[in-house]
Amino acid sequence: MKSISDLGDLRGKRVLVRSDLNVPLEYAEDGTATITDDGRIRASVPTIKALSEAGARVIVSAHLGRPKGSPEAKYSLAPVATRLGELLGTDVTFATDTVGESARAAVDAAQDGDVVLLENLRFNAGETAKSADERAEFAEALAGLADVFVSDGFGVVHREQASVFDVARLLPAAVGGLVETEVGVLRRLTENPERPYAVVLGGAKVSDKLAVIDNLIQTADRLLIGGGMVFTFLAAQGFEVGKSLLEKDQIDTVRGYLDQAKDRGVEIVLPVDVVAATEFSADADHEVVPAGAIPADRMGLDIGPDSAKLFADKLADCRTVFWNGPMGAFEMEPYAAGTAAVAKALVELTERGALTVVGGGDSAAAVRQLGFADDQFGHISTGGGASLEYLEGKALPGLTVLDETS
């Protein structure tokens, strides 16, 4: 894959950048949107800034949320344009459409070094269309705004979408610094990782991570399992899980993973205690109980204190750690301690020179909400789904197309 340095002198050229600016928003009663975590915007700034300083006319494209192919006010990128401008320290021109009159006017008026942000790509049905012809038509309109394409939205490179895949076939293309860094880190996780190598998996459903578990059993030394997915593992061992989240249809699959891990000498670490509550609420009655004896009227919402210590101990000697998914319902204070304990363990490992990777999505939001800074970890990925698919060994369309066009 080509990098930006391979594109030559970009002064005066119109550079279309596909960024990942899909940030969480909260809305006031008057409809005003507030960005609750600007991590993805901050991660996108270095590439945009570098292109601007090189004299390019930077056209940023991105999506927000899941609109159905037409404009929806709550998914407008207008608040993102404001925050991007603040982080860049310069005005960002916001086009109120993607390939229409406003976009064309903004691009035509741009001077060397200017930054334009297009409105939400997914306001156009062609962005995510299953029809290659429909995607191609939208991609041609996007490409018509620019001279060069830079792919810098790692969170979407696993999608075969117009702004990620099809545009790369129409313009001279390269990866941006963010994608280059992400791929470099993931290669360190998959190509001769420094050992011991541990993977911490959490989140709600084991079914979301079946393929990555299957692949990691071949490469990791330890798998530490928490979050809602752990109750299917506990049930597979014959334990009662009360009202906890349980995927009964995956119990046999999980038993197979436990057997496979044992045969390969891979250690699977499960909680020994959990915080169990009467309902999914911060105000619910809750207590710490043994992981194998959750009362029938309670649900597990976090790993317990003994489990937090166990997980920290199992990570203490590791040289490489990948973490994807919180250990509990971290958004509610009574169930945040397990996630905080894992984060603290990774911070300590980072300080000792280990490679620690926080795999995007809820994990990244969790560490920030709990007061940890991005630079306390080796790397915080901007693409949870893309990271997992890379670790599964899947080809990512947004990367393979750049290899094809190099």
Sheet holding 273-277, edge to edge: 286-290, 273-277, 299-303
Q: Is 149 strand, coil or helix? A: strand
Q: Is 63 annotated as a binding residue?
A: yes
Q: Is 249 annotated as a binding residue?
A: no
Q: Is 184 annotated as a binding residue?
A: no
Number of residues in the chain? 406
Q: Is 40 annotated as a binding residue?
A: yes
Phi, psi of 120 (to 5 degrees): -45, 120
Q: Which amino acid is at 250?
A: Q
Catalytic residue among 18, 40, 57, 314, which? Answer: 40
- State yes or no: cis peptide before 46, omega within 30 of 0: no
Catalytic residue among 202, 361, 384, 398, which? Answer: 361
Distance separating alpha carbons of residues 120 and 116, to the nearest angstrom? 13
Q: Is 192 annotated as a binding residue?
A: no
Catalytic residue among 2, 104, 169, 205, which? Answer: 205
Q: Is 362 annotated as a binding residue?
A: yes
361 among known catalytic residues: yes
Q: At what angle do helices 78-88 and 39-53 cross, to 10 degrees?
A: 60
Distance separating alpha carbons of residues 157 and 142, to the nearest angstrom? 17
Q: Is 264 annotated as a binding residue?
A: no
Q: Is 346 annotated as a binding residue?
A: no
Q: Is 142 annotated as a binding residue?
A: no
Q: Is 361 annotated as a binding residue?
A: yes
Angstrom distances, CA of residue 32 to CA of 25, 41, 75, 76: 10, 19, 12, 11
Q: Is 21 annotated as a binding residue?
A: yes
Q: Give catalytic residue positions.
A: 40, 205, 361, 385
| Binding site members for substrate | 20-22, 40, 63-66, 122, 159
| Binding site members for ATP | 209, 300, 331, 360-363
| Binding site members | 20-22, 40, 63-66, 122, 159, 209, 300, 331, 360-363
| Binding site members for (2R)-3-phosphoglycerate | 40, 122, 159
